[in-house]
Amino acid sequence: MTNEGALVLKQDRIEWPTIALAILIYGCWLAVTWCHALLPLCLTPVLGGWLIAWHNSLQHETIHRHPTGRRLIDGAIGAVPLSLWLPYSTYFRTHRAHHASRAITDPFEDPESRYLAHTQGGWGHILRAAEFLQSTLLGRLLLGPPITVGRFLVSELARGRKDPATLLRNWLPHLGASALVVAWLHLCGLGIGAYLLLFVYPGISLSLLRSFAEHRPAEAPEHRVAIVETRGPLGLLFLHNNLHAAHHELPGLAWYRLPAFYRQHRMRLLEANGGLLYRSYGELFRRFLFRPHDHLVHPDYGGHDTSPEIA
């Protein structure tokens, strides 16, 4: 990290905008779940999905030691399992490993890679079929949530066979906290099926929109991290993690400081990431709604060339 980068990180340890954001997200979630019966049915998945995706963005901030720099406090802020399916400790471990990896997108080295190695046999065919179904943006948004959750659960079962003690340490606190969330939903008269359909499903879908094009394989590791220059509501929803190359350069920089840092260093960041830039999520919709973003078998393991197309 540059000296300038180190200086940027010397900010106030209590990040009050992030604390205010956490209060807003949890307060709105409590209000929407409590008042769900009063809302128009068409509005519930919009609000519910937004809050689940926003909470996922908040969890991402807490993993990077925001808002206090104290792991127990930050973890307590982020660990409430509003989405029910992903243990916070597992997310913490895999995301920190993703940032530590020098082989981002490699299916064996990067735990957050969505790319596959070309494998033979029935399971290889199933994985490739599942990834093919979500290789377009439309498929990613509509089919990505169950595929993502299903693939994660299968990988957790495989991990449990190798290391059951660690799996239990991850899942027992998560299941206990999830039981409290479900108890609150029961108190609100919101069934678990309706909650999964109207809150969790659209929330995962929105989060997958952010991750759809943020990485691509490339020979140079720094060319694997994209930038989406969105503004307005989606930038706030993703807490500016769409400026992904900036986030990877300074993962300890608070979300509300990222836009100014990006504006100041835009040309240098684009030169460093090989120009892997999308002007907006509108561009992603125009280019990839019905067309695959890339080939999901990693080029180092039997795939085709996935050089990015820059408009």
Residues contacting 189, CB < 8 A, separation 6+:
36, 37
* Gyration radius from the chain CA atoms: 19
With contact defined as beta carbons under 8 Å apart, do 76 and 57 qualify? no
In this prediction, residue 303 carries a pLDDT of 53
Residues contacting 10, CB < 8 A, separation 6+:
none
Cis? peptide before 67, omega within 30° of 0: yes
One pLDDT digit (tens) per residue for the chain, 311 residues? 443 344 344 455 899 999 999 999 999 999 999 999 999 999 999 999 999 999 999 999 999 999 999 999 999 999 999 999 999 999 999 999 999 998 899 988 999 998 888 666 677 778 788 888 899 999 999 999 999 999 999 999 999 999 999 999 999 999 999 999 999 999 999 999 999 999 999 999 999 999 999 999 988 888 999 999 988 899 999 999 999 999 999 999 999 999 999 999 999 999 999 999 999 999 999 999 999 998 888 888 765 544 444 33
Report d(CA 68, CA 132) in Å as an integer: 41
Helix (H, G, I), strand (E, B) or coil at 227: strand
Name residue 91's amino acid.
Y
List helix spans (H) across the chain. 3-9, 16-34, 44-63, 71-78, 88-100, 122-133, 137-162, 164-188, 192-195, 201-211, 233-237, 244-249, 258-272, 281-288
With contact defined as beta carbons under 8 Å apart, do 59 and 91 qualify? yes
- The pTM assigned to this predicted structure is 0.92
In this prediction, residue 102 carries a pLDDT of 86
